[in-house]
Each structure stands twice: as structure tokens, then as C-alpha cells.
Structure 1
Amino acid sequence: MSYETNSPIVDRALAPVPLQTISSSRNHDALTALSQQARRDLQRLNYPAPNWVIAPHADNVLDVLIVGAGMCGQTAAFALQREGLRNIRIIDAAARGGEGPWATYARMLTLRSPKQLTGPDLGVPSLTFRAWYEAQHGSGDISNFDASVPGWAALHKIGRVDWRDYLLWVRDTADIPVENLTRLDSLTDEDSGAVARITGPHGSETVRARKVILALGRDGSGAPRWPSFPSLSMQDPLAKGRVFHTMDEMDFTAMQGKTIAVLGAGASAFDNAACALEAGATVQQFARRKLMPQINKSKAASFPGFLRGYSQLDDQRKWRFYTYIFDEQVPPPWETVRRCDAFSTFSLQLGCGWKDVQPMQDSVRVTLSDGSIKHFDAVIFGTGFDVDMLNRPELERYSAYIDTWAHHVSPQQAASSIEAARFPYLAPSFALQSVDGTHAEAMGRIHLFNWGATMTHAAVGSDIPGLGIGSTRLAHAISADLFVQDADLHWQHLQEFDESELLETRWHQAGEA
């Protein structure tokens, strides 16, 4: 059901919104006990697997450098360690707990995904979110440890901060080493591998690695999408503190009593509108579309067969699937819309885009699509993220040569789905590919594990449903690549291998094969 007016449907009673909480209380003793159980389970799985890579290089050359230690980078590291790749480093520019969006620009109360999904656990039951939550708050089937906190059965969706804390717990339990406050400044190459310039708490250093995984989050294959308006320049000092993107840091408490405009009708637009409303602002939200999308088509593309098989499809069928999903658009969660609709100070104007935005000394002047003019204390763009490899500073050396989907569909198709055409066209190993052979070898060492992998691999490098499949596929591919590169060394090792199996028998002859 849709509505096109500025007011929500009021002709029937709406279903109550289940209890939603950002985080629950912590039971540290329970988590310690669960960590011990999980470590025993990992030992039974021979984790971490012994390192098998024969190091033909200098000691200071990594097998893998992972840039980004959010949900995807962390899980990729876990998968690599399960494969016996131990000579790795994982860096993240944020402080511990600030990796990914969960404590920064993600402003929803709960995750959008169903609570039962798994991924960061890589199939280890004691590492699942459910195990983490039940250890502290019970199953909820009979009784709760704390009556004020719902047990698993009564939990509606996972709290955003709970998810952040759970990820940190998995990291610690699985012994995934992360170097925080360490950023990637540049990425180049030499004959032996990639050369990364990084800066951390102890200064700058040059790191050499045979493989680099870029797990830089939702904007890791582009940048926040800023709409273009004739009178708006983000370099204008008048825009500071008045014009925001949903990814920006914002002081919502300063919005109390102010009138805020939000552009967009996606989940993040509603999340930010809700934060402003809860701070005491009046919010007017605008969207060009006349109807809110009702069905999340991506949910129908989240089952194992799709997530495993999509990468095997021909290009035309891949293009058909995801351009359809993109065109249908993802509706905001109904709980998020109701979070805003609960305020009398909220209005939503559908079918009403913006023609211009002009920051002024004491307001922001917005020209609506019908030519009318409104003034607001601040505006927030809920316009998402662009995929455009030219926007990635760490890939500046290669960006002009990165193969994209525009080269694998017809010009008419590329013109009709411009953003889809800008997605990188990746190898089966998630590696970048060169459109003309320039820097091909160097780009083959760089593996993209974020939203940019979606057109080639489905959403296995960005969203929870496909995370376990994607990180395992990535780890398997890198493991195979490193073996193939060193095949001759492994042949030599095979010939030199002399660990005798036949001991303590009358047939044993020492020193003979």
C-alpha cells in the first residue's frame, strides 16, 4: 500500500511496532564462558590452521594486507586464517569500536536484516550472534536472565550497537589482530607485489604485500553521492554546519527547535530524519518519487543458490538481475518510517524534488521542483553512495585503467543504467582487472571486497546474508592464487619432504624412502 500525500494512512489502525533497542546490557562473565567454548570449538576445527605458504620473499613481505576491519574485512581475515594464511595484517583508520558504520553514520535503531542470519561466525555455532545474545539474555522460551531485556525468542531485530559489540567479541575470540588508527595513504606496485604506504600511531611505513584486500565499506568503491545544484558548493563556508550528507558527523542535539529538510526516501534518509525529530527538530522530508517502493527485491536474491551461483552466470543475465533490483529500489524498513511518523513535527512530501539549494547566512534556501521556495535551518542529503572507481584516492595509479561493466554491455544498456555500468568488472577472485592490459599484473593483486563487488559476485562483500559465502570464496581464491604462484617451490618442497611415516616397525630403514 502506498501514499502520495504529506500525511500517513489514518483510515485504519496500524500494527504496533515491536520493541527496538540499540543495545542491551552486557554480561561479561557469560561472554567469557562463551569465548572459552568458542575457542575449544575452533581448536576442534584446527583453527588457526598451520601456515602452509612457502615464503620465497623477504621476511617483511606480507601474504595479504587487509585494508578495513569492519564486518567484511574482519570476516575476510577470519576466513584467511582458517585457510592457513597467517602472514597477514589488518588495518583500520578508526579507533577500536569505530570500524564500519555502526557507531558513526549508521543511525538506525536496529539492523535491517532478520536476526537469525549468520555470517561473521563462518559456520561456528558458538560464534553466532544468537549464541552471543542467548549467553547474556537467555533463549526467552521459558524465562529471561533479566526481565527488562527480551530473550532471543522475543527479540525483534538486532540492536545496532549490539551488533558492533558482537563483532568486536568475535574478533577477540577468534584472535583476529587489527591495527587501529592506521590508514592506507597510497597503493603502488613493484615486481614482487603491492607497495602500500600506511600511517599509524607510530608514524608512516612502507608495507609490501603479495595481495591486498580493500574492505573499505559501503563507499569503498566510490564516495557519498552529493546531488548537484546550481547554487551549492561544499567549499562555500556558508554550507558548513548547514548542509550535510547522512554519512557526515552531526550534532543532532543542536537541531532542537530547528527546522530541518531531508532529501531522499531511503532508509538512511528516514534514520537521520528520526534522529533530528528525537532531538526536538521539525523535519520536512522530500523525495522525487511519487510512490514509496514497497517490496525489497534484494531479499529474493539472498538465498544460498543465488549467492553461490550468480557469479557463474553470463554477463547479460547478471546485468538483468541487478539492474532490475537497483531500478526497483529498496524501501525503508517499516519500523523506521513509523519511527518518524510518531512525531507530529514530521512531514513527507512525495513527488517533490529539489531544483536548487543555496546556503545563506542564517538559513538554507531550497527551491522545490514546483518552483516554490522554502527556508530551513539545515538540510540533510539522504542520497546514498556512488560507485565510481575514479573517486578512490588509494587507487589513483590504476583508476583510469580499471575494467568496468560499461565495457561488457551494450552502449544503450550502459546509458540506461549509468551507475551499474560504473561498477568494476572483477575477476572470480574479486581482483580488479585492467581494461586494456595496463597494470594488469598489479591490479590482479588487489581484491575488492565491498559493495563494488555486487555486479560481478552479488552482494557477498557487503551484506550479512552473503558474507560467509563471499569471505570464504575470497579466501579460497587467494589461497589458490598463492599456491599457483609458488607451485615450483611446492614441487621442490615435495621432493625434499622426508618425514617418515613408517616408524617403530621391523621394516623401517632409517634414511631411506
Structure 2
Amino acid sequence: MPHPSADPIGLPELESRLDHDLACLNWPAKPWVPRRHHDGQAIEDVVIIGAGQAGLALAFGLAQQGIHALLLDRSAPGFEGPWATTARMETLRSPKELTGPAMGIANLTFRAWYEAQHGPDGWALLDKISRLEWIDYLRWYRKVTRPRIRNHACVTDIIPHADRVELTVAPATGAPAGAEGHDERVVARRVILATGRDGLGGPAIPSFMQGVDRRWWAHSSDEFDYTQLKGKHVGVIGAGASAMDSAATAIELGAASVDLLIRRQDIPRINKAKGAGVLGLTHAHVDLPDDWKWRIRHYINTLQVPPPQGSTLRVSRHANAYFHTGCAVISVQPTGQKQAPLQVRTSLGDFPLDFLVVATGFLPDWSQRPEFATFAPHVRLWAERFQPGEQETDTELENSPDLDDAFGFQERTPGCCPGLSRIHAFCYPASLSFGTISGDIPAISDGARLLSTRLASLLYREDLDDHWAALQQYAEPELDGSEWTPADSAQRLRTLQSRISSS
């Protein structure tokens, strides 16, 4: 086998190869879902809320099944997901070899995209994927897979019905001129929430932050300009990846100092989630007994995922960064002073600070998502499905939705919300039901394949009568009768019989 050239082939050549791959795979597949209308309006087969990596992978998977989806995203084109807005890491945690949303197609992988521009030698030299390279790859992914996306589209209401889901879509902040104020109704047979890490809630804000003026603090997920922290003494609550990235960003942009306030006596060292990242669990989690699902997810939650080494070193290389372990925050009080407007009381003492970054992660919290208000009270949660032992109580898991086998919500009380199962949670809170296949890079293609095939099954079964009628009416001939000449059977029989008689 000839050794591949070390020279970059360029993106145009890669795109030509990818087009050939897709043609060989008959992608996209032929549409087969009957068109439906409601009150004269065409019903979308599937609407995906969110056009980040999960939404893009799912749209590709649905196209493989002959189902074409509409994606709605509040962001501007190319800014979907956190990568170019609220994410502040230098590189991804995921190893560069993971194929992410490539859906099993070699020429759709990050590696193919990177080598096309930098060659195999460039790939060999690459250690970690930079955050901005990843968003550039996703922008290219969007270009070559051609999903139907409507940007600047903010979903403000989702109402399930027995035979459809109705959405109200408003122009998002930053929408093009002339679009303001024009709400639109979109009707779909199925709606997918590909809404990421905070998909069914939002930031986990500690109670001690209640009433604190937002001039003096931000959550690590906020779209906040860290240049405002130049010359300030900043506190960061937490020791996870977002805490380290926030601390490093503040220092790099001129903060006078950063104090990391870490409740634990030590920063976690071992990534148990990585230890669980085997293909067997990727496919088996959905089929595990409830107690094992809970045990695995609770164990990882309890031990916590450590911050990446690179992110931690990015902070600790600065002499004005201070790591305070065993430092539980008790209260945060305004001082009324221009200098050090916050007094942060901790188990180690009081910290006079200018600004506070709360890096405390996310929680399923329906109250933070008013667009879910119509159906949220009717969603069955894991707290109603499974009762753990006293040593395994876990608020995050208790508030996770108890999903059906197609990621669909289930009713808390049968009949209380017809059509609820037409809304599917393809986002992080699905991890207790399905494992980590609904958002994170390592197994996003596995999740997209699973959901797209199950949606294909649901849509076919809903229209079974129509498909049966179409089967009966199908009359496209493969033969027209000219392909053979009818034999003279009587003559042939005489010939065969005479052969026997003559012997």
C-alpha cells in the first residue's frame, strides 16, 4: 500500500471525497414520511431545538433515515453552542482521536478536516484540539452536511398535543433588522431538545448568592466580558474545569489576583467518567437495571470530574493565583465600598473581593426555562421511579427526567398531558436514562444513531395505515412481459416423453 502524501490536500479536495462517500451511502436517503397539515399549515416531521454538535449530528442521522429536520437556534450562524461564546478553555478535554459527530464517516471527522489543512505530520504534532479549532470544524460540518437551520430563532413556548407539538418562535436578540417582534407558530410531529449541558434548566446558583447585586458577580456560563476584571481582585468558587478556565481568563486579561475558593479538602485527581468510557457501557447503559444506572452516575457525581491538567497549570503558573482548599463559602455580603465591594465569608475566614465568579455547574431546573412551563409540571422524574439508599441520595439524579426508549418525556400521571412523549430530551439530563450519548463529544454519534432510528420507527408506526395503503397501491412493474417467450408446453412434454421412449 502506498504511503499517503504528507502534504495537505486542502478542504476542497476533502469535500470532494466526502461528497463521494455520501453518494456511495445514498445520503440523504429518500424521503418517505407522509406530509401532514394542521389548520392549513404544513407540519414539520421533526424540529430540533439547538444546532450545536448534538443537533447537527442528529440532523445528519435523521437524513440517513430519510427524515429531514428543521433546526432552530437562537444564536447567529456559526456561533451555536458554547465554543465561541461562554466556553473559555484553551483546548478540549476530549482526546483528539475521538470521532465526535462524524457518524462513522472517515472524511467527516475532525482528523480528516485537520489533516486536509495541516497534513498527516501536522496531525501527529497536534496534542489537544483547541476550542476555536473545534468551532471552526463544526462550522465546516454544518457547511458540508447542509442541515436546514433557522438562526436567531428563540423558542418561547412548547405545547404538546395528542397528534402534534406547537411551538412559538420569536426573533432572538441580535436578529437581523426587520425581524423584531414577529412571533411565528411552528408545528411539528416530534420536537427534540438538543439544548446541551443546561438543557432542562440552567446554572446552579448557591443560596448564598441570593440578593447579591449582579454588578459584582457572574456565573461561569454567562456571556461576560472578562476584560472588565482588569486590576480587580477576583474570587472563583469551585475547582472544576469551568472554574479553572474562568480563573485563567481573568488573570490573562489583567486581574490583579484570583482566589479559588474550593469547598473540598483536595481537588479531585482521578476522572472516573473517563474510566467509564468504554463502548460496552456506551451501548449497555440504557439496558441496565435502575439501581445500576443510579449507582454508576451517582458514583461519578460524588467523586467529581477533576479539571484538566492543562487548565489547572494555566492558572497555577501565575504567582497571583491562590488555591484555597477546604474553603466552604458561608455567605456573600456587599460592603457598600468602592474598593472590595464584596465580603465573602468562608470556613477559612473573610475574603474582601471586587468580583466573584460562581463556577458551580448546572442543574435541571424547569423554573429557569419558561418555554417549558406548559408541559414541565407533567414530566415524570427519576425521583418518582426509583428510591436510592440513604448513602446514594443525589439531587441532580432525582430531578432527571424519566425518559422512554426514544428519549421522550413520560407523563407523571397517565393522561395528564397528551402528546408529552412527542418531546424528546437529547441533552445532558438524559444521561441517567441513557448514559453520556446525548451531548458530549465521545459518544454523540452513538446517541444520534439511536434516536434517529427510533424516531424513524415511531413515525412509521404512526402512519401504519397510510403505509399499508401505499403498499397495496404500489404497482410499479419490474417486468413488462417481454423478458421471456412462453413455451409450447404440450410440444415440450412430447419432446421429453419421446426421449424416454426412444431409450
TM-score (norm 1): 0.87
TM-superposed deviation, 1:493: 0.3
TM-superposed deviation, 1:416: 1.9
Q: Residue 293 of structure 2 aligns to a residue in which SS? A: helix
1:168 lines up with 2:147 in the alignment: no
Aligned match of 1:312 = 287
Aligned match of 1:256 = 230
Any idea what the Cα deviations from partners look like across 1:165-205, whole Å, max 9, x if unmatched? 10111111011121111110101133430000102354211
CA distance in 1, matches of 2:417, 2:283: 26
Aligned match of 1:405 = 382
Aligned match of 1:485 = 462
TM-superposed deviation, 1:440: 4.5
Aligned match of 1:189 = 160
After superposition, residues 94-113 of structure 1 pair within 5 angstroms as 94-113=75-94
After superposition, residues 91-130 of structure 1 pair within 5 angstroms as 91-130=72-111
Q: Residue 178 of structure 1 aligns to a residue in which SS? A: strand
Any idea what the Cα deviations from partners look like across 1:397-435, whole Å, max 9, x if unmatched? 121121111112226559821221111110110001111
Query: Are the aligned partners of 1:401 and 1:438 in contact in 2 as well (CA < 8 Å)?
Result: no
Match of 2:65 among 49, 61, 83: 83
After superposition, residues 127-142 of structure 1 pair within 5 angstroms as 127-140=108-121
User: Which blocks of at least 5 consecutive residues in structure 1 are unaligned?
Assistant: 1-26, 141-150
Match of 1:215 among 194, 204, 214: 194
CA distance in 1, matches of 2:462, 2:334: 56
Aligned match of 1:466 = 443
Point out the more displaced range, 56-65 or 210-219.
Answer: 56-65
Q: 1:347 to 1:320 in 2, by over 3 A?
A: same
Q: Residue 324 of structure 1 aligns to a residue in which SS? A: helix
Match of 1:35 among 15, 20, 38: 15
CA distance in 2, matches of 1:300, 1:261: 32
Amino acid at match of 1:68: G
Q: Residue 35 of structure 2 aligns to a residue in which SS? A: coil
Aligned match of 1:64 = 46
1:198 lines up with 2:169 in the alignment: yes
User: Which blocks of at least 5 consecutive residues in structure 2 are unaligned?
Assistant: 1-6, 487-503
Q: 1:320 to 1:191 in 2, by over 3 A?
A: closer
After superposition, residues 216-365 of structure 1 pair within 5 angstroms as 216-229=195-208, 232-234=210-212, 239-281=213-255, 282-361=257-336, 362=338, 363-365=340-342
CA distance in 2, matches of 1:45, 1:370: 61
Aligned match of 1:15 = none
Match of 1:449 among 420, 426, 433: 426
Q: 1:411 to 1:29 in 2, by over 3 A?
A: closer
Q: 1:77 to 1:359 in 2, by over 3 A?
A: farther
CA distance in 1, matches of 2:36, 2:289: 37
Query: Are the aligned partners of 2:332 and 2:345 in contact in 1 as well (CA < 8 Å)?
Result: no
TM-superposed deviation, 1:439: 4.0
CA distance in 2, matches of 1:299, 1:508: 68
TM-superposed deviation, 1:317: 1.1
CA distance in 1, matches of 2:352, 2:359: 18
Query: Are the aligned partners of 1:183 and 1:198 in contact in 2 as well (CA < 8 Å)?
Result: yes
Q: 1:95 to 1:360 in 2, by over 3 A?
A: farther
Aligned match of 1:156 = 127
Query: Are the aligned partners of 2:166 and 2:187 in contact in 1 as well (CA < 8 Å)?
Result: yes
Any idea what the Cα deviations from partners look like across 1:324-371, whole Å, max 9, x if unmatched? 111110000011110001100101000011111123442342333337
1:435 lines up with 2:412 in the alignment: yes
Percent identity over the alignment?
Answer: 37
CA distance in 1, matches of 2:483, 2:14: 49
User: Structure 1 runs of 4+ off > 3 angstroms?
Assistant: 56-59, 411-415, 438-441, 506-509
Query: Are the aligned partners of 2:285 and 2:293 in contact in 1 as well (CA < 8 Å)?
Result: yes
Aligned match of 1:4 = none
1:52 lines up with 2:29 in the alignment: no
Amino acid at match of 2:206: P
CA distance in 2, matches of 1:359, 1:460: 43
TM-superposed deviation, 1:304: 1.6
Q: 1:242 to 1:390 in 2, by over 3 A?
A: closer
TM-superposed deviation, 1:503: 3.6
Amino acid at match of 1:160: R
Rg larger for: 2
Instruction: Give the length in aligned residue pairs.
Output: 467
Query: Are the aligned partners of 2:261 and 2:324 in contact in 1 as well (CA < 8 Å)?
Result: yes
